[in-house]
């Protein structure tokens, strides 16, 4: 058990360069929340629902992270910072990373019967801060969800989801094979592609062209010092007969 704890803390240090020691990681809110969730989930599985809820509420008060006792969580799960909500029927695989203010939320069943209402995250998924993963969908292995994205459909393996409503972008093979991408979102092409950015770039080009035309017109206008004098019309004079 001690070896498993050391391995877990080391897996967090591999994803977060901030801590100086394992002791520091041990007091991370995400680590405390996960430890208390293990207790709450054991009580939930034993059908001691009231006690499970008590542990859940204490954990939420202590860490600002709300994990329903019924949620199933795999190995090396890391919540970096707090204010995260994970629903009852959520399932999380191994080596998953979630940043702050993420919701793994449910949808209201149309038949009124509770069932699988929350997302399933496969192994090595990374969820960026503020993302909302809603409904009984599956986020594929090694997929990434960018900050503030809203995902309501299944996510293919290795895809990066961005936007409102989130759309899939192609990820190069060298990015897909990397073990870990901080914040779940690369800083170059996958997030820069898309009609929104193209529209902004086109507007910026048009604005630059207009500015260049205005500058050229100003250069062609004469200044008051160099302007030619306006000729004065000659007065007509009559001749005497």
Each residue of 94-129: pLDDT tens digit? Answer: 999 999 999 999 886 655 567 889 999 999 999 999
Q: Whole-angstrom Cα distance, residue 131 to residue 154? A: 15
pLDDT (tens digit, 9 = 90+) per residue, 145-162? 999 999 999 999 999 998
Q: Whole-angstrom Cα distance, residue 168 to residue 182? A: 18
| Prediction pTM value | 0.70
Homologous superfamily (CATH) of 2-186 is: Hexapeptide repeat proteins (2.160.10.10)
Q: Whole-angstrom Cα distance, residue 127 to residue 78? A: 11
User: In the predicted model, is pLDDT for residue 58 greater than 70?
Assistant: yes
**What's the pLDDT score for residue 190?**
47
User: In the predicted model, is pLDDT for residue 192 greater than 80?
Assistant: no
Write down the H helix ranges in the chain. Answer: 2-15, 22-26, 29-45, 49-63, 173-176, 189-192, 195-220
**What's the pLDDT score for residue 70?**
96
**What's the pLDDT score for residue 225?**
59
Helix (H, G, I), strand (E, B) or coil at 92: strand
**What's the pLDDT score for residue 191?**
46
């Amino acid at each position: 058990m001690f070896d498993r704890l050391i391995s877990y803390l080391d897996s967090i240090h591999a994803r977060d360069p901030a801590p100086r020691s394992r002791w520091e990681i041990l007091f991370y809110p995400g680590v405390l929340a996960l430890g208390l969730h293990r207790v709450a989930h054991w009580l939930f599985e034993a059908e001691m629902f009231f006690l499970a809820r008590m542990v859940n509420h204490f954990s939420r008060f202590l860490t600002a992270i709300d994990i329903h006792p019924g949620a199933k969580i795999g190995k090396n799960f890391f919540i970096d910072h707090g204010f995260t909500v994970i629903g009852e029927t959520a399932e999380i695989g191994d080596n998953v990373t979630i940043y702050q203010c993420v919701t793994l939320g449910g949808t209201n069943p149309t038949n009124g019967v509770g069932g699988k209402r929350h997302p399933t995250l496969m192994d090595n998924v990374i969820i960026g801060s503020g993302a909302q993963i809603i409904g009984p969908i599956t986020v594929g292995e090694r997929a990434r969800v960018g900050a503030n994205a809203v995902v309501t459909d299944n996510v293919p393996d290795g895809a990066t989801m961005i936007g409102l409503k989130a759309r899939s972008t192609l990820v190069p093979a060298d990015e897909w094979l990397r073990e870990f991408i901080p914040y779940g979102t690369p800083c170059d092409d996958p997030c820069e592609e898309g009609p929104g950015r193209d529209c902004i770039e086109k507007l910026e080009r048009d604005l630059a062209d207009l500015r260049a035309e205005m500058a050229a017109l100003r250069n062609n206008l004469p200044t008051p010092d160099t302007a030619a004098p306006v000729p004065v019309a000659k007065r007509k004079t009559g001749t005497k007969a």
